[in-house]
A and B are shown apart, each in its own frame.
Chain A
């Protein structure tokens, strides 16, 4: 068992070494782009054009196909970053620090998108762009934590030190996730409870939540794609003075 664990760990560390990561991600990237475009387009077309109109909200409810997946992504990316932060702190794996740094702007983007689309959805349904409601406020705090992580990393010149600093921030910041999740149950809010969860049946009809599931999958794939692109750029920027970059990457470019 112990031997197997060591084998898995060694495999991960090897795959995560910058030159090897760059090599295998070059092969994966075209496939990832292809699958992401297909699933992403399928989910959005299904949701925006072919799902039934809501009896109460009319067509404006279709914002759900953008709002819910981006909110889910905003929180999932933070959890992913906290795991990377833990690995960076405990095992000092170089690539996990880079992963954390590469994921932060994507997480911030999707959290911002969730806030903006929520605001646009709020105007016709609640009659206001913004309320200082528990769900909205806690999501805004999540966005600020993302901003703090990005700012902190760029303010420290030594990149491995910067990685450790944002690791700590992401591990501590994870406390906001259960607060966002439970905010609709703990406090009286305008925001509706979760649309679907892993443990209970969805509160929507199948022809409305099926496209939503495809959208969520499409958004996750989009995250994987953007993360791979960001990480490749990060690896090249940090290792630009190493010989493998000029041999592998710059020669590939010419």
Chain B
């Protein structure tokens, strides 16, 4: 089991290339999900401070 996992991670010495691409993908999608949420939060805050 552990051998299998380490084989997947290492990918015959190419693991670093493949997994860094995967991390970049996750990072870029993460940023794109975070941005609209941040925008909406800002509007909410503004409207709350207006009503108070």
Contact = CB atoms under 8 A, between A and B. Distances in A.
B44 A250 contact: yes
Given A113-B28, A233-B40, A124 B17 contact: yes
A66 interface: yes
A161 interface: no
B1 to A, nearest CB: 14
B17 A226 contact: no
Interface residues of B, number: 26
Main secondary structure of the interface of A (DSSP, over half): helix
A44 B19 CA distance: 12
A82 B40 CA distance: 27
Contact of B17 (A110, A121, A250): A121
Contacts of B44: 250, 253
B24 A62 contact: no
Interface string B4-17: 00001001101101
A109 B46 contact: no
A58 B47 contact: no
Contacts of A236: 39-40, 43
A246 B21 contact: no
A230 to B, nearest CB: 5
A112 B28 contact: yes
Interface residues of A, number: 36
Interface in A40-63: 44, 48-49, 58-60, 62-63
Contact of A48 (B17, B22, B31): B22
A153 interface: no
Nearest to A236: B43
Given A222-B29, A229-B36, A121 B21 contact: yes
Interface of B: 8, 11-12, 14-15, 17-18, 20-22, 24-25, 28-29, 31-33, 35-37, 39-40, 43-44, 46-47
8 contacts: A58-B11, A59-B11, A106-B32, A112-B28, A116-B21, A123-B17, A234-B39, A250-B44
3 closest residue pairs by CB, A with B: A233-B36, A59-B11, A60-B14
